Structures are given as structure tokens and as C-alpha cells.
Chain A
Amino acid sequence: MRLDKSQISGTRFMFTITFFLQSSALLTAFLSSVAQQDSWIPVVLSTISCMPLVYLFRTLMVMFPEKTLLEMMDEVFGPVIGKIFGVWYLWFFLTLAALNLKDLGDFAKATVMTETPHVVLVLLCALVVVWAVRHGLKVVTRYSALFTFIEFGIVAVTFVLVAHQMDFNNLLPAFQLPPIKYLQGTHLMTMIPVGELVVMLMLTPCVKLSRTAATKYWFIGVTMGMLTLFAILVRDIMILGNTLPMFTLPGLVTMRLVNLGEALSRIEILFAVGLTMLLFFKVAVLCYASTIALAQLFKTKSYKNFALIIGVLVVVYGPIIYSSTVEQSTSARDVIPFFWGVFEVWIPLLMFIIAKIRKLPKKTAENPREQEPQPPPRRRVKEEHMK
């Protein structure tokens, strides 16, 4: 049963994927500590190696067009195991949301609002997120295209502004690290930003796409997101060189180096604005997924009242997950990519295999994915929104 009756277009879904990946710009610091000046290589390798995973998500989406991930698991694994997995996924989404919200607060506190208490920063963000989630996916993803283009714009502008400081030699020597480093970097990039796209399977009932369109939007969305991360990394490596792994926020340091005469300098606020926007959006999508998951676990007809509960949970949960940022970054680099794999690869893959063996979904009704969807009449959408 669909809890959120709102519907978004394929294009908006694609930009949601892109923006979700772009929001992992903070992750470049973890990657550079692993692969140093070769950090761009794992991004290229993971863009290639993640494609089967993206195809798996896309396939699950077209196999179960009207179902969220939790409903798919109920159908494939049965209600008991499905519910157990459902609770796990709820915890997974909540943890991701809490960690990203904490990152947002930490970042704002460290760079632009040093005196403001952390809790105020995250609380204000959580309030807006809760408001958006209550209004459905349409509102949560409304500015995905705009935000994506703003992020593209910020990356492009800074690329131009620091171009004269770039040193191509900083990318050298290439391919000289032990292979395990590239493997670790590729695994990190595949598991953390791309694997987290499993959360999109909580959104897919609100997207009406044909098989071809689903393939197109998934792959273009992922490619655009990974291209942005690649551009950010190459820019930072060419500017910061061997100092790159030292910094917790290399992008911020790069932007601080912009100095074109007296007039055009100190534009790091662009980075702050961009990253705040990115993390806010990611938190909103994750909170939306958590809210829907919670509502489906409790089999309620409305999810809206759960939004505030999720909002409160992510605010209080974030600060207690890790005792320090060092512990968090070590865990993100060494532990999380393996642990998250269970949620991002193994359970979806198992679900796909079992669904194929059990010949699910049962063909009881016509498959809406086989036909190009017709956009809903405007009046109807408006009526739904008014409800």
C-alpha cells in the first residue's frame, strides 16, 4: 500500500540520485587518506564497478514498481524475515540520516558558526527536514535539479578560479601504490556513496517509469554524480598536492586558496553553502525513507506523524554513535564499507535471486512498467496535494 501518494518525474528522480551522490563530497577526505595523489583512480574504477549494483537497484525497481524496499522484502522473504530485515533497514537509514546530520552540524560549527551550539544547528535543519517529509516526496525532492546545477556551478566556477594554481605534476606518480590501496578506495567509493543509493528503493513507488526510462535515469544520475566527485578530487589533488591527505575538508582549503586580485578571494563560503545544501538534502531523503519504513513496519495508513519522531531520533542519535570525529573517520574508512555491504549489496542481491527463483512478482495485474507512464492530470495532483 502506498503511503505517500505524491508522484515525481523521472528527471527529478535522476537529479535526486545525482545530488545524493554529490553530497558525498565530504568523503573525498577519507579517500585521499587511502589513495593519496591517485584518489581519482578509485573514483573512475568505482564508477565502472558500481554499474552492476546500480543495475540491481534498477531491476528491483522495475520488478516491484508499486512497492518500497520493505514491501519487496515482505513479499520475497515472507512477513517474518521481511520484517526483521525491515527493522535492520530502518536502523540503517536512521543511522545514515543521523551521521549526515551530525556531519552537517560539525561542518557548520567548524567553519562558519563556531560559537553556535551544535544542537541548535542540527535542530533547525531537522525541523525543516521534518516539515518537508510531512509534505511528501514531491516537496523533499522539489529542488533536486536546482541544487544539482548549483553544485555543478560551484565546482565549475572554482575549477576556473583556481586553474592558474593547478599543477598537473601533483597527479604523479600515478598507479604506483600497492593494488590493495586502489581496491580499498574503490570499495569505499562503491559502498558509501553508490551503495547508499539503496535508499532510493524506498522512493520508487512515487516514480512512474518504463524499463527503458528507469535504466536511463538510474545510469545518467549515477554517472553525473560520480563525475562531480571526480572533478572535485582532481581539482583538490592538483591544487593541494601532497598536503591533500592532511586536511579534513580539502575542498574548503582549496576554495580558501582562490585569490584573483583583491576583489575575488575568500569565496569558501560557496563551499559552505554547497555542502550545507547537499547534506540537508541527503538528510531529508534519508529521513523520508526512515519515516516511510517506520510507518510500514507499524502498518499505519499515514506516515506524517512519524516524521517528527524520526526528526527527534536523528538529532539525538547522531552525537552518540561515535565518541569522536577521528573514530568516525577511521570507522568510515576501515569498517563501514564492509558492514554497509550487507544492506547495500547482499540483501538486495539475495532478494533478487529469491524473487527470480520464486518467480516474483506474481503476474496478477498488468505490469505498469511495460508501458510508458502517462503523467497524472494536473487537477488530480492538485487535489491530492490539498488532502
Chain B
Amino acid sequence: MITKGKRIVALLLIFMMLPGLLSGCWDSREIDKLFIVTGIAIDATDDPDQVDVTMQIGKERKGEAGLGEAQTGGSSTIVLNTVNDTIMGAIREFNRNSNRKLLLQHNPIRLFGIEVAEHGVKKHIDLFLRDQQARLEVPVAIVEGRAADVLTGTLDQDPLSGMFVAGLLEDLSKVSVELQVRMLDFVSRLLQETVAPMMPIIAVVGEEDKKEIKTVGMGIFKGDKLVGRLDNDQSLGYIWAMGDVSQFNVKVQEGIDKAILHVSKLKTKREVTISDDGVVKVKLSMEGGASIAEMEGFGNMTPQNLIPHLKDLAQEEMKQTVTEAFQISQGLNADMLAISATLEQRHPKKWEKIKDRWDEIYPTIELTVDANLKILGTGQIIQSLEMEEAMK
């Protein structure tokens, strides 16, 4: 039994400990002592050993905090910029010159200037893999020109341009996960050596007072260096080849007649074969359901032969787009479809024999593309106005 005296001593001890245990901790961080980073941009400098780091901070109220060298970028953001030999060095410099600490955990986007991407991004991503605050699901993108321009410009679309770019890529990922490249995805491809990492490219367009951000395609890497690109239309060929694409349009044109087909879901089956003498063949079979979204012309056709005709045109268009994108990657000798990874996974023994010759083999790969679209609907009307007129 605990005596009454002991009970009182225990209670007193507990009361004495409570203020220490319940009043906070070492890790308390108040929002008025933080800079919430809404975008990080990495750019090259004239000195190859230095890196230009820009960070966009979401500002909760105007005119607060000592900023040191900071400049205000619009009313909702603060933009911090410095040149240092490492990214951590730059972060330290920002923290040193401010009464707030940078909070990277909510940073939604990491941007690389095109010059940095061409010189190689490997030395700039260690921090983003190592630091506990830096998350691996954060998307990465290349910026046409300087990456800092995305974070410093006053945009019509959204004052928090970092958040806007992240949202843009998030929306694209609903079409295909290949269009939003997370840091983890990029590193995963980088580690595979023979596979080409990909990264979306965005650009700031428009006049000084009316700037806009647009996606302009996908960058193709060889190792950690940007070696080529696909424009937006060619990027469709890439995502169709990778498969699992939702909600996209295929434009078909025949003379002055044109139609847009809306494909709701596309699945792509990949078959990679390798002969004993090391000849690699790839067969892509695409299957999906489509509906007519818009049509102009085709006045000389009847409703009965219109649907098979549109289907043939769309299938041919898709085959051509995929083949064109693949040929670009072969020209760059960069395995953007991760064919080497499929070979390694499915034919490990044969892969071991050819992996050292992969750079010679890749440009010689024979690609066969099959497309099978089913036209599931025509919308509220069946024929185009031109067809209606022709029937009269």
C-alpha cells in the first residue's frame, strides 16, 4: 500500500513536472517564425562551381520580417535569391539573413533552369533526397530559360507561381502519371543508368505585365544531362507508349475535314523480345474507347462509314505519333520508354549479355505499334453540319 505521505509527495512531483512537460518542447515552431517555401528554382551561373538558388515564399501578411537581401515579388510572395556553391549553403545564407526559418516541407515544386539541366542535375539533388524536410513526392520540372523567372514574375494566373506550376502538373498527372515527374521517379530512372530520365518543360511567356506559364513538352535526359526534348504533341506519343492514359484528345485531319476524338482510357500492352544474337523488338498494342468531341467537314460521308473511317484515321494518327516520339529518342540514343528496364526485368540473363552494348542496340530496335480504338459515342449529335447539309 502507498502511504498517504508518499501519495502527497508523488502528487507534488507530478505537479512540478507538469509545467515542464506540457508547456511546449524544443521543436515548437510558430508560423510567424517560418518562411513557407512555395517554390525552389535552381539556375546555372557563370562559375560552374556555383549555383543560383531562388526560393519563393508565400507571404501571409504584407510588410513583415527582416528580409536582408530579399526583394518582394508581387504582393503575395517574397522571393529570396542567392549564389552559393551548394544549395544547403544558400539555405543557410537565407536563414542567416532573416528572422524566420525556411520551411521546405510544404514546398510543392522544384524547378531547374535549362542550362543547369544541360550541364547535369545530379550534383543539385542530393539535398532533396537527404534532407528530412525535403519530400520525394515533390514534382520537378525544367524551365525554358531561367527557372527563377517562374518564381519572380508577376503572373496573371496565380500570384503564387510555385503553387500554380505544382497544380498544373498535378492536373496533367490525371491524364498520365508520366507527365508529372516526382523527384523519386527521376532518381529511380537515373539509377537505372540505361533508362532515360524524363522531366516536363515549362516556359514563361507573354509581356512583362502579363506573363503566363505554359507547358511546352518533355525533356529527355541521358544520365543526368538534358539531351533533347519532345514538344507537346510528341509528348502524347511518349505517354501513349507508356500506357495508362486518361482523358485526352486525338486530332485527325484529312484535307480540310477534321475531328477531335476524346479518348477516356487508353491501355498499352508492351511486348519486348530479344533474340539470341541480341536483336531487340518492341511491340506496343494500344487499346481504348473514344467518342467524337468535335467534327468539321466529312460532308461526303454517310453516318455508317464515318465511324470506321474516323477510327482508322485516329489509329493511324496515334501510331504515327508514337513512332515519331520513339524515333526522336532513338536519334538521341536515350531509352525514354524504359525498354532496357523491361528487358532486365523479363529477360535478365539475356540482358546481362547485352547491357554493355545497349548504346549500340537502342538505335536499332524495331518498333511495331498497334492501335485499337473503339468509338463508344458521338455526343449529342451524330453527323457534322456539313453532313446534314449534304444529305438534303
- Residues of chain B contacted by A302 (CB below 8 angstroms): none
Partner of B348, one of A110, A173, A243: A173
Taken together as a complex, chains A and B put the C-alpha atoms of A115 and B28 apart, in Å, by 9
- Residues of chain A contacted by B132 (CB below 8 angstroms): 110-111, 114
Give the interface size class of chain B: 20 to 34
Taken together as a complex, chains A and B put the C-alpha atoms of A110 and B27 apart, in Å, by 12
Asked if B345 and A169 sit within 8 Å, CB to CB, the answer is yes
Asked if A257 and B345 sit within 8 Å, CB to CB, the answer is no
Partner of A240, one of B27, B184, B342, B348: B184
Asked if B348 and A116 sit within 8 Å, CB to CB, the answer is no
Q: Mostly helix, strand, loop or mixed at chain B's interface?
A: helix
Does chain B have a CB within 8 A of A117? yes
- Residues of chain B contacted by A243 (CB below 8 angstroms): 184, 187-188, 191
Asked if A242 and B192 sit within 8 Å, CB to CB, the answer is yes
- Residues of chain B contacted by A240 (CB below 8 angstroms): 184, 188
Interface string of A228-267 (1 = CB under 8 A from B): 0000000000001111001000000100110100000000
Does chain A have a CB within 8 A of B136? yes
Count, chain A residues at interface, CB 8 A: 23
**How many whole Å from B136's CB to the nearest CB in chain A?**
6
Does chain B have a CB within 8 A of A113? yes
In the complex, the 6 A-B pairs of residues with the closest C-beta atoms, listed nearest first: A172-B345, A173-B348, A116-B26, A115-B26, A176-B348, A115-B27
Asked if B25 and A259 sit within 8 Å, CB to CB, the answer is no
Does chain A have a CB within 8 A of B31? no
Partner of B26, one of A111, A117, A173: A117
Taken together as a complex, chains A and B put the C-alpha atoms of A169 and B343 apart, in Å, by 11
Asked if A113 and B136 sit within 8 Å, CB to CB, the answer is no
- Residues of chain B contacted by A173 (CB below 8 angstroms): 344-346, 348
CB-nearest residue of chain B relative to A164? B177
Does chain B have a CB within 8 A of A386? yes
**How many whole Å from A134's CB to the nearest CB in chain B?**
13
**How many whole Å from A120's CB to the nearest CB in chain B?**
8
Taking A176-B348, A246-B129 as contacts, is the C-beta distance between A113 and B25 under 8 angstroms? yes
Residues of chain A from 101 to 127 with CB closer than 8 A to chain B in the complex? 110-117, 120
**How many whole Å from A103's CB to the nearest CB in chain B?**
16
**How many whole Å from A237's CB to the nearest CB in chain B?**
12
Interface string of B226-253 (1 = CB under 8 A from A): 0000000000000000000000000000
- Residues of chain A contacted by B25 (CB below 8 angstroms): 113, 116
**How many whole Å from B273's CB to the nearest CB in chain A?**
16
- Residues of chain A contacted by B345 (CB below 8 angstroms): 169, 172-173
Known interface pairs A110-B132, A173-B345, A256-B135; 11 further A-B residue pairs with C-beta atoms within 8 A, sorted by A's residue number: A115-B27, A117-B26, A169-B341, A169-B342, A172-B345, A172-B346, A173-B348, A243-B184, A243-B188, A246-B129, A257-B137
Asked if B26 and A242 sit within 8 Å, CB to CB, the answer is no
Asked if B136 and A116 sit within 8 Å, CB to CB, the answer is no
